[in-house]
Structures are given as C-alpha cells and as structure tokens.
Amino acid sequence: MSQSQNEEYILVGKIGASYGIKGWFKINAYTEVPEGIFDYVPWRVTLNGSNRFVKVAEWRRHNKGLIAKFDGVDNMNDAEAWLHGEIYVTADQLPELSDDEFYWRDLKDMLVKTDKGYDLGKVSGLMETGSNDVLVVDANPTDAFGKTERLIPYIQDDVILSVNKEENTITVDWDPGF
C-alpha cells in the first residue's frame, strides 16, 4: 500500500497485550468514542522504528476494553510481534469539526495570552485529567514570575475565552502568577 510522504499521521491508539491463542490483542483507543478507532482504514502501525499498514480482520468489545485481530495474524506468537505498536491514521480521515471545536494538534504551538495582554508562552502539549483537559504552556524565557511551565485547565468560556486559529492565539482568564 503506497502512502504519500507528505501525509500527516495522527496517533489514535496503541496495541496492548496479546489475547488468547488465535492472534488477537487488546487495543487501547485514544479516540473520543473507543470503538471509533475501527472506523479508520488503514492503520499505520509504528513499532521499533518501522511502519506497516494493516487491516483489521475482526474486532469486538471485551469486558470494558477492545480486542482486535489483523489479517494474517493467526496465533499468539504472530500477535506478540505487534505488542506496543502505535496506531496512526491520516489526518484527512478525521471528522471535520465545528468552528468552536479543536483537535489537540490544532492547539499545539499556539501563543497563550491573558485577557489583560500578558504573554504566557506557547502550548507544548495537552493532558487529559478526567475532569477536563489541561494546556501545558512553556513559559517565555523572560517570564517575570520565573515560571518555566504553566498548566492551564481547558475550560471553555471560564478559563479559555477564545481560540483564534488565524492569529494562532488562545486568550485565557488566568493569573500569570499561578
């Protein structure tokens, strides 16, 4: 299967432990709806620096998780060769979002400023905490408060006042001293 070198790939899950003796393994989905990971075809699995494109032959829910089997993987030994592989899909496979919704990848590297005009730095990543997502902001080297990093809860309309894709900025109601 040929794929363009310029395509952007998005991490959507990881292969967990093998399951049973017939080539199945557990799937850790990072998609909002876990079963949604199976809507994407094909998967690019990255393991030990190599990429392989795979087709899911079967999948199902098992207890509170998901299990799957790839075409050509028919026993436990074959399945174990895939353990801990990261599952990627092309960015163009992801659904379109409304104007007020964002993928985490869209927020990365955006400048974060307070509603008072104080520059807090750039988004270096995001964390999921269970109650709400959290922006990880690398502070500017000249930060007046001596901060190197800030964790800002992503709470729309309370802390996050606006996200402007065109200006690559996020405006927050946040005290820079925190």
133-138/119-128 β-pairing:
antiparallel
72 and 114 housed in the same domain:
no
Per DSSP, which regions of the chain are E strands?
9-19, 24-29, 43-47, 50-54, 56-62, 65-70, 86-90, 111-114, 119-128, 133-138, 149-153, 160-164, 169-172
Q: Which domain holds residue 65?
A: 9-93
**Percentages helix, strand, coil for the chain, rounded to the nearest 5?**
10, 45, 45
23 and 84 housed in the same domain:
yes
Question: Residue 148 in contact with residue 155, Cβ under 8 Å?
Answer: no
- Number of domains forming the structure of the chain: 2
132 and 111 housed in the same domain:
yes
Q: How large is the C-alpha radius of gyration of the chain?
A: 20
pTM over 0.75: no
Question: Residue 111 in contact with residue 55, Cβ under 8 Å?
Answer: no
71 and 22 housed in the same domain:
yes
One digit per residue, the tens of pLDDT, for the chain of length 178 reads 444 556 889 999 999 999 999 999 999 998 889 999 999 999 999 999 999 999 999 999 999 899 999 999 999 999 999 999 999 999 999 888 887 788 888 899 999 999 999 999 999 999 888 788 899 999 988 787 788 999 999 998 999 999 998 999 999 999 887 7
CATH number of the domain to which 58 belongs: 2.40.30.60
- Measured CA to CA, the distance from residue 82 to residue 25 in angstroms comes to 9
Q: Which amino acid is at 5?
A: Q
In a domain, 178, yes or no: no
